[in-house]
Amino acid sequence: MPIVTIVGRPNVGKSSLFNRMVGRREAIVDDMPGATRDRLYGEVEWNGQSFYAVDTGGILGEETSFSAGIESQVKVALSECDVALLVIDGTVGVTASDEAVALLLRRSMRPVVVAVNKTDDPKHDDRISDAYALGFGDVVGVSAVHKRNIDELLDKIVEKLPVSEDERDEDEIRIAIVGRPNVGKSSLLNKMAGEERSLVTPIAGTTRDPVDTSVVMEGRRFRLVDTAGLRKKSRMDSSLEYYSFVRTLAAVDRSDVVLLIMEADEPCTDMDKKIAAHVLNKGRGLILLLNKWDLLPKKEKLGDKMTEKIRDEMPFLQWAPVLFTSALSGRGVSKIASAAIGIFENRRRRIPTNLLNRLMRDVLAFDRLPSNKRGKSLKIYYCSQSGTEPPTFVFFVNDPEIVDTAFENHVQKELRELAAVGGPAPAIGGGFTGSPIRTYWRGKDEEA
């Protein structure tokens, strides 16, 4: 997805505007100038267009212990973004600091939209015209606090986003290769591609930008995307690394299947779990891959024990297959393509209506349905599969609030077993193996 960077001097309301655009409170909003010193990112969707918004620290007019660092971050942000959103304070008007920021923007050659914030009332609209002196044609008076003209601002931003040229073959399978630094992502890509496409060094963080490679495996065309290693934001040592992180998330967003690579001797770290949670949230297929398997000491039933460890520590991924590989020797690499093909098909799988009716009649009729504190039991009227990629199901019930997590997990398990009846997918098992599924609960009156 495109990246929109929010820039401006301190205390003009960048963080408040970021929170309003993202739709939830993410950034620290404080009256103290310079409260935002690092970058924050969030996903924005408007009129069918999605983009990442990045909130930056304010550029300080006076010298402080961290003003130079903030200005450096903003320069990198501008070099990496697709559109810049310049925010100024409408109650103050254009200042020398605003003009300094505008100069940086003009040098960046990026499309710019100017938001004149804190214009809370139409009677303040005369202040907006002063902002045109900064030299940009798209100026919108907004109030982040009162949500005034936010829609118009988003319209202007979307107009300037680059037109996607990302055309693809309907049967092409996109695989994003993700994981922590130095787990062997680039080596694995090179082994799968049959030639050296991505730089491989023992230095963690060599890959900065996603690298696309088109290959044919098992008679199918794949697009492999090697991404930067993901570390905790507190450990990211440069602005470039931070934007590599954002672009890695975007690579996951446009993939069909994600290879989450973990080191065989250190799987299931906190970052591994966070990456997996992002993949799950985006509804992408997932393969858990333990790389450098050849470096582990040989023990009896080691594979079974490691699989059990993963299932115990990442219980929300019971549906994701586990593969053991060595990018160096090539062990297990040949299994990845057939597994990805199976998951690709599983994400498109539909359960026939007659099987869904069987779920309603034979399974749920004999299960103890949940009830609320007043003793009201859940009643399920019918179910339909509303979509694929990932498979999505809607249950119409008497009261959606009665549904608890345990029961939803039980229903998803039953759905997976039903899908397996429809015939196995190639080389990876039947049902929805490797694909998340989504279930929604609606009151019967919501059918329309």
Give the 3-state DSSP-derived string for 60-121, with helices as H, strands as E and coil as C: CCCCCCCHHHHHHHHHHHHHHCCEEEEEEECCCCCCHHHHHHHHHHHHHCCCEEEEEECCCC
* pLDDT of 295: 82
Structure confidence at residue 448 as a pLDDT band (50, 70, 90)? very low
Whether 59 and 71 have beta carbons less than 8 Å apart is answered as: yes
Structure confidence at residue 205 as a pLDDT band (50, 70, 90)? very low
* pLDDT of 186: 80
- Rounded Cα–Cα distance for residues 15 and 13 (Å): 6
Top pLDDT among 61 and 172 is at: 172
Structure confidence at residue 122 as a pLDDT band (50, 70, 90)? confident
Place of tokens 């997805």: 1
Which H helix or E strand runs over 246? Answer: helix 239-253
**Residues 179-187, mean pLDDT to the nearest whole number:** 81
* pLDDT of 66: 37
* pLDDT of 241: 55
Of 208-222, 307-321, 336-350, give the lowest mean pLDDT range: 208-222
**Residues 342-370, mean pLDDT to the nearest whole number:** 83
**Residues 358-381, mean pLDDT to the nearest whole number:** 81
Task: Give the other-Cβ count within 10 Å of 334's Cβ.
Answer: 13
Residue intervals in the chain for CATH 3.40.50.300: 3-160, 173-347
For residue 121, what are the contacts with CB-CB under 8 A and spacing of at least 6? Answer: none
Residue intervals in the chain for CATH 3.30.300.20: 353-446
Task: Give the other-Cβ count within 10 Å of 95's Cβ.
Answer: 14
* pLDDT of 184: 80
Query: Could you read off the pLDDT of 372-392 as tens digits, one per residue?
Result: 888 888 888 888 899 999 999
**DSSP code of residue 371:** B
Of 34-48, 103-117, 131-145, 279-293, give the lowest mean pLDDT range: 34-48
Class of domain 3-160 as given by CATH? alpha beta
* pLDDT of 402: 92
Task: Show the tokens assigned to 312.
Answer: 């115990």
* pLDDT of 166: 54
For the whole prediction, is pTM greater than 0.75?
A: no
Structure confidence at residue 438 as a pLDDT band (50, 70, 90)? very high
Work out the mean pLDDT of the chain and round it to a whole number: 79
Query: Could you read off the pLDDT of 46-89 as tens digits, one per residue?
Result: 888 888 888 775 554 444 433 454 566 566 667 778 899 999 99
Of 26-35, 252-261, 418-427, give the lowest mean pLDDT range: 26-35
Structure confidence at residue 229 as a pLDDT band (50, 70, 90)? low
* pLDDT of 430: 60
| Percentage above 70 pLDDT, the chain | 79
* pLDDT of 308: 92
Pick the CATH number of 353-446 from 3.30.40.10, 3.40.50.300, 1.10.3720.10, 3.30.300.20: 3.30.300.20
Pick the CATH number of 173-347 from 3.30.56.10, 3.10.580.10, 3.30.365.10, 3.40.50.300: 3.40.50.300
* pLDDT of 210: 47
Indicate if the pLDDT at residue 367 is higher than 60. yes
* pLDDT of 203: 39
